[in-house]
Amino acid sequence: MTESVVTIEEIESDIVKVTMQDRVNKNTFSDELVSGVKKAFKMIDSNSEYKVVILTGYDNYFSSGGTKEGLLAIYEGKQKFTKLDIYNLPLDCRIPVISAMQGHGIGGGFIMGLFADFVILSRESVYTANFMKYGFTPGTGATYILEKKLGISLAEEMLLSANNYRGAELEKKGITFPVLPRADVGDYALELARQVAEKPRLSLITLKDHLVRKMRKELPEVIQQEVIMHEKTFFQEEVKERINELFGK
């Protein structure tokens, strides 16, 4: 299957790679990207041979999160971040997912990557939970998955400061993910995928279901709480000003 900005490639009979490459919008959650990623995971779910997914981006970008238009639409009350509904696709996927985050992971794009079963970062790329940069509280499950994957101290730091971090900086802070030169992320992800794919598909599905069952159960309540926080914080005039002034900077 090929979308204009999302491709799905069968690397080997049991390994599939989903590549996000909306070069015009730098892999923000454009309508085309969201539609393409949803279709890709739907197709993967219907396949009975695949054992592992590699999710990646292009060049210097993994995913840049919400679009400026999307954020302003939330401010204007026209939509909620739950409409996107792609950040949790790696979690809900039946088979293991590897986030090969070779490029920048921004906001909801970074969070989507963290919902994978395996996460690989690059030393050169920027990773940020920058929601508060614009003055509104985090969404897309960020308040949940950052603590789960990075620990409470670093999660609070990233969420409250909204700072940018190079992969090399996060490595120094003790994150447990592999952090590699950008050029090596893809090869590492493929080797890892081959190691996973050596196991029986049924066993992989059964074990993943057991390992993430609690997360799948808890996440909807967290999302509801994030929506409630948005209703308190998103409609400040300062938020609109920050989105218009700071988006993309």
231 inside domain: no
The one-letter amino acid code at 7 reads T
Q: What residue spans of 31-181 are helical by DSSP H?
A: 31-46, 68-75, 89-92, 108-114, 142-150, 152-161, 167-172
**pLDDT tens per residue, range 4-56:** 899 999 999 999 999 999 999 999 999 999 999 999 999 999 999 999 999 99
137 inside domain: yes
27 inside domain: yes
Which residues span the domain enclosing 73?
Answer: 6-183
Q: Convert 116-139 to b/e letters by CB count within 10 Å (16 or more is b).
A: bbbbbbbbbbbbbbbbbbbbbbbb
CATH number, domain at 37? 3.90.226.10
Selecting among 26, 133, 149, 230, the annotated active-site residue is 230
Q: DSSP letter for 89, please.
A: H
What's this model's pTM, rounded to 2 decimal places?
0.95
Count the domains in the chain: 1
State yes or no: is 104 an active-site residue: no
**pLDDT tens per residue, range 168-185:** 999 999 999 999 999 999
- Distance between CA atoms of residues 9 and 189, nearest Å: 14
145 inside domain: yes
175 inside domain: yes
241 inside domain: no
200 inside domain: no
246 inside domain: no
The pLDDT profile of the chain, 249 residues, written as one tens digit per residue, is: 444 899 999 999 999 999 999 999 999 999 999 999 999 999 999 999 999 999 999 999 999 998 999 899 888 988 877 777 899 999 999 999 999 999 999 999 999 999 999 999 999 999 999 999 999 999 999 999 999 999 999 999 999 999 999 999 999 999 999 999 999 999 999 999 999 999 999 999 999 999 999 999 999 999 999 999 999 999 999 999 999 998 877
